[in-house]
Structure 1
Amino acid sequence: MDGVSSPHADRRVADAVAGHWVDRIAPRWSRPYLRLARIDRPIGWWLLLLPCWWSASLAAIRSGAAFPDPIHLALFFVGAVAMRGAGSTYNDIADRDLDAQVERTRSRPLPSGQVRARQAAVFLVLQALMGLAVLLQFNGPAIGVGIASLVPVVIYPFMKRVMPVPQAVLGLAFAWGALMGWVAVFARLDVPALLLYAGTIAWVIGYDTIYAVQDIEDDEIAGIRSSARFFGRRMRGAIGLCYGTSVGFVALAAVLAGAGPVGLLGVALFGAHLGRQVLRLDTRDGRGALTLFRSNREAGLILFLGLAADAAVTHIL
């Protein structure tokens, strides 16, 4: 990586967090790479991490542990940041021509010329190696399941060219952590983990449809397909259906894992948060849609805390 190749190297990406430390204190040469990894948009790694933590919490409930394995939680955190960065870098390499046609994405490092494709590829490999180093800390079955996650990651960038709802493939990738926490404890996949995975896929489709509201007009011009375009006037109902499906599967997973009232309260509060998003969504307000999309971090943390607290209460009782 031989530095920055554009006079606009310090330009902030359109949907980044305002005043983020990447824009304020990171060395100038590193900023385009940190933006490639979405470090200035932390919501991405949160949404990748939270299903891992949910799964680890369900595994704690089933195993009778007082809390999710803290080492696993820490490894999932590092792995989520690394693999979110690697996936985003790969996505930007594949989409650099399309990104140049969309207002929100044309300021990204590749279409704006801040980084060359070869530099981005080297950076991608470094992040992937970091993710692999984390994955190798788990048991053999978890390593195998983790490697299998690369299939939807690799094909996702190309689905927006051919599928009416490419968010379904994104869901397969971003929900993968719902399998990882369970298999890291039990070295196998059981019905609760599979149900949690199904519920998380529906969650991802719902929240990414909200995210796609920002780009409906530009996507139509550029020929980019998205669930927001596909659902159109039915969007709010479709998101509500996705979220309702998510809550139903997550609740069933929690019950089958042995969760009690505290865990189910967490599921109910998670569902209430999602319902509030649907009610507040204005499909003509891109900025408001971004705020609602980001609020899924809080929704996910509510569910995690509920499930983790249930493990503690169940252990005590």
Structure 2
Amino acid sequence: MSAAQGGDSSEAPALPDAIADHPLLRCAPPALLPFIQLARLDRPIGWWLLLLPCWESSALASAALHEAPNLFHLTLFFIGAVVMRGAGSTYNDYVDREIDAKVERTRLRPLASGRVTPRAALAFIVAQCLIGLAVLLSFNALTIALGLISPLIVLIYPFAKRFTSWPQAILGCAFAYGALLGWTAQTGALGAPALFLYAAAIFWTVGFDTIYALQDLRDDAIVGVRSTARLFGKRVQIAVGALYATSIASAVTAVFAAGGGWFAYLGVAAYAAHLAWQIAETRENVAPSTALRLFRSNRDAGLLLFAGFAAQSLAFLF
């Protein structure tokens, strides 16, 4: 994709929620920088949060089968999460380019600022989706069928903030979807543990994306964008606490349905402790930098849960 297709890409202004010194921003050719920003490759927390339900589900399935973690599947999910998060983010920016231009935190995004043309963004979406499709076709038939449904949820999400105060719930259904795919890829069937883990990931996503939305309360009110952060208002700490508590309870039930195991339950306990810390730090008037830090910390929360499940799958081998 040429610079001519993408517009003026000689400069890539640092975006507020990006890692300013990310190696890709330092080393990539200038013409590629807007597309790196479109795909959020300078903001890896997004693909981590999309990837972790896949890894957690795959590891829990391995534990249920008394098998070692499937490294091939974990690698495929990593590739798929990076490219599909990029495709989803590009699509979201394409739909929201006019709104983004009015919001301080998003006005310098490549489409909102005119550094990438809408036509080039659509071509970029297609390219990323083709890579994602190649990854999906590496799995079994049930996983492929389920995977082909998930883009329908992604297509709805950018419009949700225009008609509901619960766009985070739709995002949760999309971001948590890997909790189904990791299980079916390993077992060939859709079981109760996967459904409970999917629920856990949905409530987790709604919680952490509510924290993320606290950064934009003022601008969202001005442009009329709805969110759970605006809906909960002064009760946001209680609401996030309830969401996280439901996520923890669902994760415990998923482990029980999968056959239990001390390491798996320890993983849930560590996950719960991390979420409790987040709840203690959450306020309606929290500083944007603090909201972003809490949001990003969910990579560690998800890794703690995955580590417990992976350790359980390894423990059954001895």
Aligning the two structures, in what range does the TM-score lie when normalised by the shorter sequence? over 0.9
Cα 1:7/1:258, change in 2 over 3 Å: closer
Alignment partner of 1:2 is 2:2: yes
Residue deviations 1:24-58 (CA, integer Å, cap 9, x gap): 11110000001000000000000000000000011
Alignment partner of 1:206 is 2:207: yes
Tell me if the contact between 1:175 and 1:201 (Cα under 8 Å) persists in the aligned partners: yes
Partner of 2:56: 54
Look up the equivalent residue of 2:154 and give its one-letter code.
V
In the alignment, the residues of structure 1 paired with residue 296 and residue 231 of structure 2 have an alpha-carbon distance, to the nearest angstrom, of: 22
Counterpart among 289, 292, 301 of residue 290 in structure 1: 292
Question: Which of 8-17 and 157-166 deviates more?
Answer: 8-17
Residue deviations 1:270-314 (CA, integer Å, cap 9, x gap): 000001001012432111000000000001001101110011112
3-state SS of paired residue (1:183): helix
Alignment partner of 1:93 is 2:94: yes
Alignment of 1:1-317 (within 5 A): 1-3=1-3, 4-6=6-8, 9-65=11-67, 67-284=68-285, 285-316=287-318
In the alignment, the residues of structure 2 paired with residue 150 and residue 185 of structure 1 have an alpha-carbon distance, to the nearest angstrom, of: 21
In the alignment, the residues of structure 1 paired with residue 254 and residue 277 of structure 2 have an alpha-carbon distance, to the nearest angstrom, of: 23
Look up the equivalent residue of 1:289 and give its one-letter code.
A
Following TM superposition, by how much is the alpha carbon of 1:151 offset from its aligned partner in structure 2, in angstroms? 1.4
**Residues paired across the two proteins, number:** 315
Residue deviations 1:136-158 (CA, integer Å, cap 9, x gap): 00000000011111111010000
In the alignment, the residues of structure 1 paired with residue 298 and residue 170 of structure 2 have an alpha-carbon distance, to the nearest angstrom, of: 19
Following TM superposition, by how much is the alpha carbon of 1:117 offset from its aligned partner in structure 2, in angstroms? 0.3
TM superposition score normalised by structure 1: 0.97
Residue deviations 1:189-248 (CA, integer Å, cap 9, x gap): 111100000111000000000000000000000100011001001100000000000000
3-state SS of paired residue (2:60): helix
In the alignment, the residues of structure 1 paired with residue 89 and residue 108 of structure 2 have an alpha-carbon distance, to the nearest angstrom, of: 15
Tell me if the contact between 2:168 and 2:228 (Cα under 8 Å) persists in the aligned partners: yes
- Counting aligned pairs with the same residue, the percent is 51
In the alignment, the residues of structure 2 paired with residue 96 and residue 8 of structure 1 have an alpha-carbon distance, to the nearest angstrom, of: 20
In the alignment, the residues of structure 2 paired with residue 138 and residue 252 of structure 1 have an alpha-carbon distance, to the nearest angstrom, of: 26
Look up the equivalent residue of 1:180 and give its one-letter code.
L
Look up the equivalent residue of 1:118 and give its one-letter code.
R
- Structure 2: gaps (5+ residues): none
Look up the equivalent residue of 2:155 and give its one-letter code.
V
In the alignment, the residues of structure 1 paired with residue 172 and residue 24 of structure 2 have an alpha-carbon distance, to the nearest angstrom, of: 28
Following TM superposition, by how much is the alpha carbon of 1:120 offset from its aligned partner in structure 2, in angstroms? 0.4
In the alignment, the residues of structure 1 paired with residue 239 and residue 92 of structure 2 have an alpha-carbon distance, to the nearest angstrom, of: 26
Look up the equivalent residue of 1:243 and give its one-letter code.
Y
Tell me if the contact between 1:166 and 1:226 (Cα under 8 Å) persists in the aligned partners: yes
Look up the equivalent residue of 1:27 and give its one-letter code.
P
Following TM superposition, by how much is the alpha carbon of 1:21 offset from its aligned partner in structure 2, in angstroms? 1.4
Following TM superposition, by how much is the alpha carbon of 1:188 offset from its aligned partner in structure 2, in angstroms? 1.5
CA RMSD of aligned residues (A): 1.0
Following TM superposition, by how much is the alpha carbon of 1:7 offset from its aligned partner in structure 2, in angstroms? 7.0
Look up the equivalent residue of 1:58 and give its one-letter code.
L
Following TM superposition, by how much is the alpha carbon of 1:8 offset from its aligned partner in structure 2, in angstroms? 6.9
In the alignment, the residues of structure 1 paired with residue 128 and residue 10 of structure 2 have an alpha-carbon distance, to the nearest angstrom, of: 24
Look up the equivalent residue of 2:135 and give its one-letter code.
V
In the alignment, the residues of structure 1 paired with residue 311 and residue 169 of structure 2 have an alpha-carbon distance, to the nearest angstrom, of: 31
Look up the equivalent residue of 1:173 and give its one-letter code.
A
In the alignment, the residues of structure 1 paired with residue 106 and residue 10 of structure 2 have an alpha-carbon distance, to the nearest angstrom, of: 14
Cα 1:130/1:7, change in 2 over 3 Å: closer
In the alignment, the residues of structure 2 paired with residue 9 and residue 177 of structure 1 have an alpha-carbon distance, to the nearest angstrom, of: 35
Look up the equivalent residue of 1:2 and give its one-letter code.
S
In the alignment, the residues of structure 1 paired with residue 283 and residue 165 of structure 2 have an alpha-carbon distance, to the nearest angstrom, of: 22
Following TM superposition, by how much is the alpha carbon of 1:61 offset from its aligned partner in structure 2, in angstroms? 1.1
Look up the equivalent residue of 1:31 and give its one-letter code.
L
